[in-house]
Amino acid sequence: MTSTLRTPSERVCEICGRSERWDDDRESWRVEEPGDTFCIHEWDINGEFIPFEDADVDV
């Protein structure tokens, strides 16, 4: 059995509404909505996102 690491592709600040999307070409986050420049962003991480996806592999 192998586990695959999943990563989020978008995130939103719960305080100011800034939204970002992951850009594979740049290998960094790209701003969609700027929100507040001086906000210390609190991303919408709530424990529902599971970073590891189990996959059955026939060997």
For 8-46, how does the pLDDT look when each residue is reduced to its tens digit (9 = 90+)? Answer: 889 999 999 999 999 999 999 999 999 998 999 998 777
Q: Is the pLDDT of residue 55 over 70?
A: no
Looking at residue 15, its pLDDT comes to: 95
Q: Is the pLDDT of residue 56 over 60?
A: no
Q: Does residue 16 form part of some domain? A: yes
Q: Does residue 51 form part of some domain? A: no
Q: Please provide residue 30's backbone torsions phi and psi, each rounded to the nearest 5 degrees.
A: -115, 130
Alpha-carbon Rg for the chain, nearest whole angstrom, is 15
Q: Does residue 50 form part of some domain? A: no
Q: Does residue 53 form part of some domain? A: no
Dig out the tokens for 38 from the structure. Answer: 């001086």
Domains held by the chain: number: 1
